[in-house]
Amino acid sequence: MRRRLLIAGAAAAIAAAALSLGNALRGGSGQAAARSAPAVGIRPDSAEPTVGQLQARLRANPRDAHAYALLGVAYEQRARETGDPTYYTKAGGVLHRAVALAPKDLVATSGLGSLALSRHRFREALSLGRKALRLSPTTALSYGIVGDALVELGRYPAAFRAFDKMAGLKPGLASYSRIAYGRELLGQTAGAIQAMQLAVDAATSEREPAAWARWQLGKLYWSVGRLDAAEHQYRAALAAFPGYVYALDALAQLEAARGQTAKAISLERRAVDDVPLPQFVGLLGDLYRLQGRPALAQRQYALVGVIQRLLVANGVKTDLETALFDIDHGIRLPHALALARRAEADRPSIDGDDVLAWALARNGRCADALGWSRKALRLGTRDALKLFHRGMIEQCLGHRSAARSYLNRALALNPHFSIVWSPVARKALR
């Protein structure tokens, strides 16, 4: 009897202790301490000092929701500046903390939205962007997030409306560059160049956005074959931000177009050494092949395979660029077609449609490919690569005059639109 009493008492005590322990562990509620003043002035040329200041502030007060949000946004900017993907992970961690402490914080919500965009989670980005708009319908940045997501989901009219709204609220680099993109998608190259020039003017002192805007402007010139103007912009980008990998890669393509293969290789190698994105590595391989060094080319292609494996292991949703790489280089074409299907499902934009069309064509299913290629060109975009794909599909289906028309259009826009495929297009026209 006494034994049972003792056991019962112990059990009750344990239960009570468990309950109170749980309560003790919970700690305070999520109320942030006194909300501190708004953003510290961000030094125009880099986000690095801001990061340091905010980290110090948070160590002093670990419940400052707004500081977490600002730090998350600063980390995202550092990721753009340095190319170091660790910053994306940090940004995510810190932004989630911010949202946990203050679910209605505008900066944290839009910060998570832009992070979702960087991770190619476009549906999530759209949802977050809309949430940000509900929190504040007059903040231009939120329209940018929504518009970017809609573009990647192939919902162009809604996207363009969002971009127009954004530019109407706050004309500046962020909105001008999106207007330029909209015009580019609709095939209005002259208007796109004008808008992008406004974006360049608005950047001036900030390194990374200045370099980015110039790079995009250069790509616009490149897309219509104006190589000198493109080169000027790429070099201006490098002057603004020495070592900017995207400018190095773009310049490499340009030098290759001019027949300067060795120069192109040295530029591309610099890009690959700094940030080995699959499209850089793939291009380097193509350049080696052009130079007549197939062994080196093969090593680069194998490296692309390695990067793809890493992306898969890291859990990346299959990317368009990696699917396209396999298709372009004839690597396991049926598997590549499956990849392209998944990529298109994730990103039903005209880029997704085009990659799927090309994948079908390379697998010999040209009839199916035609429908997707039509979708890819439905906006009237003056994109040489998409036109080339269409030309090849028409040729595959035996529509000779249509094929010639599309291939001519592609080469007329930019005779050097692709290291690998421009010669193929020229040959097909002979």
Q: Which of residues 90-149 bind other proteins (CB under 8 A)?
A: 90, 92-94, 97, 99, 103, 106-107, 110, 114, 117-121, 123-124, 126-128, 131, 135-136, 138-141, 144-145, 148
Stretch that binds other proteins, among 25-33, 357-365, 384-392, 418-426 (CB under 8 A): 25-33
Of 42 and 290, the one with the shorter C-beta distance to other proteins is 42
Of 280 and 406, the one with the shorter C-beta distance to other proteins is 280
Stretch that binds other proteins, among 57-65, 255-263, 284-292, 329-337 (CB under 8 A): 57-65
Asked if residue 191 binds other proteins (CB under 8 A), the reply is yes
Stretch that binds other proteins, among 235-243, 256-264, 365-373, 388-396 (CB under 8 A): 235-243
Of 323 and 403, the one with the shorter C-beta distance to other proteins is 323
Shortest Cβ 414–other proteins spacing (Å): 19
Of 191 and 371, the one with the shorter C-beta distance to other proteins is 191
Shortest Cβ 376–other proteins spacing (Å): 15
Of 124 and 368, the one with the shorter C-beta distance to other proteins is 124
Largest CA distance in the chain: 104
Count of residues engaged in binding other proteins, rule: CB under 8 A: 157
Binding mask 332-371 for other proteins (x = CB under 8 A): ---------------x---x--------------------
Within residues 246-285, the interface with other proteins by CB under 8 A covers: 246, 273-279
Stretch that binds other proteins, among 163-171, 258-266, 353-361, 392-400 (CB under 8 A): 163-171
For residues 323 and 373, give the distance between their C-alpha atoms in angstroms, rounded to a whole number.
16
Of 273 and 332, the one with the shorter C-beta distance to other proteins is 273
- SS3 sequence of the chain: CHHHHHHHHHHHHHHHHHHHHHHHHHCCCCCCCCCCCCCCCCCCCCCHHHHHHHHHHHHHCCCCHHHHHHHHHHHHHHHHHHCCCHHHHHHHHHHHHHHHHCCCCHHHHHHHHHHHHHCCCHHHHHHHHHHHHHHCCCCHHHHHHHHHHHHHCCCHHHHHHHHHHHHHHCCCHHHHHHHHHHHHHCCCHHHHHHHHHHHHHHHCCCHHHHHHHHHHHHHHHHHCCCHHHHHHHHHHHHHHCCCCHHHHHHHHHHHHHCCCHHHHHHHHHHHHHHCCCHHHHHHHHHHHHHHCCHHHHHHHHHHHHHHHHHHHHCCCCCCHHHHHHHHHCCCCHHHHHHHHHHHHHHCCCHHHHHHHHHHHHHCCCHHHHHHHHHHHCCCCCCCHHHHHHHHHHHHHCCCHHHHHHHHHHHHHHCCCCCCCHHHHHHHHHC
Asked if residue 60 binds other proteins (CB under 8 A), the reply is yes
Binding mask 298-337 for other proteins (x = CB under 8 A): -----x--xx-xxxxxxxxx-xxxx---------------
Shortest Cβ 234–other proteins spacing (Å): 11
Asked if residue 31 binds other proteins (CB under 8 A), the reply is no
Binder to other proteins among 53, 373, 381, 418 (CB under 8 A)?
53
Asked if residue 207 binds other proteins (CB under 8 A), the reply is yes
